Copies of this chain bind each other. A is one copy, B any other.
Amino acid sequence: MADESKKASSFLKVDWNGLTSEAVGPAGLSPDDLASLKGPLAAALKDVWNQRKKGKLAFWDLSADRRLAQESKKLAAWGRKKFQDAVVLGIGGSALGASAIFTALKPLNHNRLSDKKRGWPRLWVADNVDPEGFAALLETLDPETTIFNVISKSGATAETMSQFMIAYDWLRKRLKKPTLADHLLVTTDPESGVLRKIVEAKGLLAWPVPQAVGGRFSVLSAVGLVPLALVGVDVAGLLEGAAAAAADGLKPPASNKAAILAGLNWLMAAKKGRGSLVLVPYADSLAKVADWFNQLWNESLGKAHKLDGSPNQAGQTALKALGVTDQHSQLQTWMEGPQDKTVMFLGVEEFRTDLTIPAIFKEYEALAYLGGQTLGSLLASELKGTAQALTENGRPNLSLSLPAVTPQAVGYLIQTLEMATAISGSLYGVDPLDQPGVELGKKFTYGLMGRAGFDDFLSRYEQGSRARKKYILP
């Protein structure tokens, strides 16, 4: 056990020197600030551990159930022989996790490789209802070798169900034999909802979304693991890393990475006015982890009210970026723009492949230093240089790093960020599991689309619309 936890702790390094006043001056956390964190953080951890015991944070222990890994492996072996394309129909929490982990763990050109080189189906995550985008995807698919995985817990998500209805019809009209059930996998609530009814009526293959797990915390359930297994991701390795993190989440605050990430960012937001948190992976493979984290942090912590009903004055918006690319796009504003951000780097110590810059053009000073070095070392130097520049400029920053992008390390990272989000919820005093702010817009959409029972919202929209004629340049 001692050995395992030792190994586990090396999946993720957390370095927050750049958040301290010693490093960045007044924008940073003083020793007193850091000391002030101890009480609240211990209390938040206790609160979260308690909620977990009561079954409210079921995401915490998804990795304990390895049956899913075994079952999805069987599914994958079946699918590998039959399909060249796997398409997730899902949005938000039903899409972002699979997308992030697919990008992290499969070759970055996976979808472009020949069938033979690829060895597994391509993966497409259709998470918008743009007709041009969805039509462009369907155009390149062969129904005979395509499997759709439709994911919606409620079975009523307008976007996903619209895609599902189109895909259903598309398969029905194009398949040579009427074997729809072989081309549709459903991931939904195990008992209730429209999709569950359709599964039963049509005899479709279905996987459950565990009941106490919300969309944005669901990637390590069937929601993420089924599509990932279908394209050959090592889901057992992912769960192994996640399990190590889940165990580390039970450690005392000072050695608990999830707690430290939650506590530090909460201090920066609540005490230092840093209402934005930029996550900047320095690896193409981790680019979409920032998208996934964006939802996790923003939906969980962007709340108008605390649990006790009082207004929530603090909060933090997650922003996404990619290193080094965004040094040429966003860095200027991190360095000199509004003093409202913490920058959180996410680095990788060793790439799975590297490229050496050839020692040519030695006659030009501006190029000579590059020859013979690797792109990996350039990327690493840029991360270090940028962090140092932010620090010297008094701009708070912290750094996460993975030893390498392995299934274990990615599982550890995902699980740690999920736990950090739950702990943050407790520190802010908000419910990290709900998203009340998205409901009103849905109701207006239903009204505009003519759904029964939403006429009032149509009228309300039209009334608002009439009032909005004044300030327009056509």
Contact = CB atoms under 8 A, between A and B. Distances in A.
A49 interface: no
A367 to B, nearest CB: 6
Interface stretch (A35-43, A50-58, A64-72, A125-133): A125-133
Contacts of A156: 366-367
Given A329-B294, A336-B302, A389 B440 contact: yes
A276 B378 contact: no
A255 interface: yes
Interface in A276-296: 276, 282-285, 291, 294-295
A155 B370 CA distance: 13
Given A128-B322, A369-B446, A355 B19 contact: no
B365 A452 contact: yes
A116 interface: no
B440 A393 contact: yes
Contact of A162 (B276, B304, B340, B375): B375
Contact of A316 (B127, B338, B390): B338
Counting chain B CB atoms within 10 Å of each CB, the highest count among A134, A338, A381 belongs to: A338
Contacts of A378: 129, 158-159, 162, 445, 449
Nearest to A393: B440
Interface in A437-474: 437-438, 440-452, 460-461, 464-465, 467-474
Given A132-B351, A324-B159, A392-B440, A369 B299 contact: no
A315 interface: yes
Nearest to A17: B468
Given A337-B298, A385-B448, A447-B385, A165 B370 contact: yes
A199 interface: no
Given A132-B284, A369-B450, A385 B336 contact: no
Interface residues of A, number: 157
B337 A315 contact: yes
A12 B464 CA distance: 22
B461 A384 contact: yes
Contact of A366 (B10, B155, B391, B460): B155
A25 interface: no
Contacts of A257: 473
Contact of A449 (B18, B137, B291, B370): B370
Nearest to A215: B328
A364 B17 contact: no
How many monomers of this protein are in the complex?
2
Given A109-B140, A169-B358, A440-B392, A375 B284 contact: no
A437 B332 contact: yes
A195 to B, nearest CB: 9
Contacts of A305: 336
A375 B129 contact: yes
Given A351-B131, A379-B130, A437-B331, A10 B474 contact: yes
A212 interface: no
Counting chain B CB atoms within 10 Å of each CB, the highest count among A284, A315, A375 belongs to: A375
A352 B132 contact: yes
Contacts of A267: none
Given A333-B317, A337-B317, A128 B441 contact: no
Nearest to A135: B353
A172 to B, nearest CB: 9
A93 B328 CA distance: 8
Contact of A17 (B17, B128, B446, B472): B472
A437 B390 CA distance: 9
A40 to B, nearest CB: 18
Contact of A19 (B136, B301, B340, B471): B471
A27 to B, nearest CB: 13
A441 B161 contact: no
Interface in A323-364: 324-325, 327-338, 340-341, 351-355, 357-358, 360-361, 364
16 contacts: A16-B472, A131-B354, A132-B283, A134-B375, A159-B328, A161-B370, A165-B367, A165-B370, A198-B364, A294-B330, A295-B328, A298-B332, A317-B341, A333-B437, A378-B445, A389-B440
The 8 A-B residue pairs whose C-beta atoms are closest, nearest first, are A92-B328, A302-B337, A302-B333, A385-B444, A335-B437, A133-B284, A17-B468, A295-B329
